[in-house]
Structure 1
Amino acid sequence: MTGTARPITLVGEPVLHRPCADVETFDDALAELVDDMFASMYEANGVGLAANQIGVGLRVFVYDCPDEDGVAQKGVVVNPVLEMPEHRHLDDSEEGCLSVPGPHAPLARPDRAVCHGFDVTGAPVTVEGTGLLARCLQHETDHLDGKLYIDRLAKRVRKRVLAEMEEMRAERETVA
């Protein structure tokens, strides 16, 4: 695998809380960014990663995530536009985030999603997701819009998740 793992940007960093800019140039620098994003995602044991999660404010995400049938789907979407199918059901599974390390919380999301965009060369792509992949497409697109999954939680649950994250961070620092 090529690419260099970069540090994951954590909740509170400004780049995570503002919309990302559209990619306008499909060049070697973009390909290198995508390679680094895959390396960073794998290093952190994630199934998806948005560019702003490694501090880059561009509309790009990568994924390597199973669909509802357990089949691994892998790819990149540049300048994604999410389309929610008319007929869908809510899945209230737990969700977590590499930028909010540790805790997870139930979050209802549609069980199907379609994402349109481009690949690293600028060719159009459409990714249809079910199960965890549908959640991943929505989660990563949210990142690029400046939203974290915790922004969709009830205030009380959001506070609990952030407190758990801080407790876990303090425990790791004590052990180190």
Structure 2
Amino acid sequence: MRWAVLDEVMPGDVLVVEARGSHTTGCFGDMLVRYFKGRGGAGMVVDGRIRDGGAYMGCVFAPNHKGMPTLSAGDRLDYLRKQVLTSRNVRGSRFVDFLLGGLNYQIEHHLFPSMPRPNLRHAQHLVHRFCASRGVSYSQCDLLSSYAQVLRHLHAVGMPLRHPSISRNTS
């Protein structure tokens, strides 16, 4: 791929990466997406592989954010509420901690991004109590429930594509 083309990206552009269907090569997805979005790109289509563990990373990040409220430019929330209300934690055992790399404590990760991941488990109890004392909703569920919520959310936002006569705002 010629990376120089990314310097020509204008806000709202859609990038099409032609890999000619190759299964032996791929583009560096995360680097490509970050740079493209940073330039104001709106969407991307890739014909071929993306070789950076994107599916695994999606399985780690999606349960923590999909279906959660999103903020608009006019929302005026303090730091605590921005982080807590837009994320969910995934409860589970140390195996779930290992499987999700400690990012199942997404609320704590957003509040304290430089905190070592093994400590997020310990901070979770303090943050949960702090939020409860201030009336801030703290969302958490088990791993299977989180994926079910993700699938329901994706089903709802995909409805207009399956049934164009249904408005996106009805979900």
Per the TM superposition, whether the score is higher than 0.5 is no
Q: State the TM-score, normalizing by the size of structure 2.
A: 0.28
Greater strand fraction, Structure 1 or Structure 2: 1
Greater helix fraction, Structure 1 or Structure 2: 2
- Larger relative contact order (Cα-Cα within 8 Å, sequence gap ≥ 6): 1
